[in-house]
Amino acid sequence: MEYTHLGRTGLLVSRLCLGTMNFGPFTPEPEAHALMDKALEDGINFFDTANVYGRRIPPMPGLEPGRVGATEEILGRWFAKGKQRRERVVLATKVFGSMEDWPNFRGLSALNIKRACEASLKRLQTDHIDLYQMHHIDRETPWEEIWQAMEQLVQEGKVLYVGSSNFAGWHIARASESARARNFLGLVSEQSLYNLTERTLELEVVPACQEYGLGLMVWSPLAGGLLGGVLAKEQEGRRASPRIQGELKAVRPQIERYEALCAEIGVPPAEVALAWLLAQPVVTAPIIGPRTTAQLKDALDSLDVRLDDETLRALDEIFPGPGGPAPEAYAW
């Protein structure tokens, strides 16, 4: 396993982060525990979750919808098994989403940050969160209030580092400058959608992360399955979900070229997609969400893939980005 610092911090995390959103709604608890044991055995020390995980998204007819908080509880029961499981994991969770249909149970008010943190600690059966991430920007709460609440949690030892998720570049800048004015460490990471098919991040979020020393955690690195060999699976008689089939119609020519390139270099498409992200200097770790240990192994294999300059140029031709950072991408 390879390790790197999370942004400008001294914290070492694995180059792959284990995402847990499937735990509960799609992956039963015994299998989730086995996956976490295997991930730890293979050197993955970076686990990501959220207080709202546990719901089945999207809802599926005939299946239980699940409930918010269930995923953190699954992790908590795994930590409770001992054998230094909690001590060996850099634990990241999130705050923002609605936990109850009642005022002040969502967002980033000081009240909700405090309440949500205490509830996550209880579900996770731990005394601290290593990386507490704001799941979304809260346009109705001032940064003075947000940082005061986060500072209090840090002073109490309940949170060690603070990160953001789904922020725009200017949100990162404003949050970072506000924290700097308070002599507070502020944001150390951003978690965003980023993959070969979705490169909008390169306009302003990537430059903001580089400027302020934030590590970048990437969700949906395989574009929901589009970059995982969807056409090859189709030829084998394995049909993708209706959602993926709908998305595939718009990008089928690109995916055809992509899978042909992967076949040419002899590397599975999913591994190429992860290797491309790992080759981006700002990326700390793609977040992988395996449902089986076999899928976990496939993701780990991407760490051994090194894409040469010719392959990287070919990928840029198939999936061109926005043209570089703003404003050069759209102005002189």
Three-state secondary structure readout of 268-280 = CHHHHHHHHHHCC
Catalytic member of 53, 161, 194, 258: 53
Is residue 232 assigned to a domain? yes
Determine the distance from the C-alpha atom of residue 71 to the mean position of all C-alpha atoms in its chain, rounded to a whole number.
Answer: 15
Is residue 187 assigned to a domain? yes
Is residue 326 assigned to a domain? no
pLDDT tens digits, the chain, 332 residues: what are they?
Answer: 999 999 999 999 999 999 999 999 889 999 999 999 999 999 999 999 999 999 877 776 766 778 999 999 999 999 999 999 999 999 999 999 999 999 999 999 999 999 999 999 999 999 999 999 999 999 999 999 999 999 999 999 999 999 999 999 999 999 999 999 999 999 999 999 999 999 999 999 999 999 999 999 999 999 988 999 888 777 766 666 777 777 788 889 999 999 999 999 999 999 999 999 999 999 999 999 998 888 899 899 999 999 999 999 999 999 999 999 999 999 98
Distance in angstroms (rounded) separating the CA atoms of residues 132 and 50: 9
Is residue 169 assigned to a domain? yes
Strand, coil or helix: what is 23?
strand
Is residue 331 assigned to a domain? no
Q: How many distinct structural domains can be found in the chain? A: 1
Look-up: residue for tokens 């899978």? 259
Range of the domain at 150: 3-318
Cβ contacts of 292 within 8 Å, gap of 6 or more:
31, 35
H or E element at residue 4: strand 3-5
Which residue from 123, 98, 96 is spatially nearest to 107, judged by alpha carbons? 96
Determine the distance from the C-alpha atom of residue 69 to the mean position of all C-alpha atoms in its chain, rounded to a whole number.
Answer: 18
Q: Alpha carbon of 146 to those of 149, 174, 179, 184: distances in Å?
A: 5, 12, 10, 12
Domain harbouring 184, CATH code: 3.20.20.100
Is residue 327 assigned to a domain? no
Q: Is 132 a catalytic residue?
A: no
Cβ contacts of 168 within 8 Å, gap of 6 or more:
137, 204, 205
pTM (2 d.p.): 0.94
Residue type, 237: G
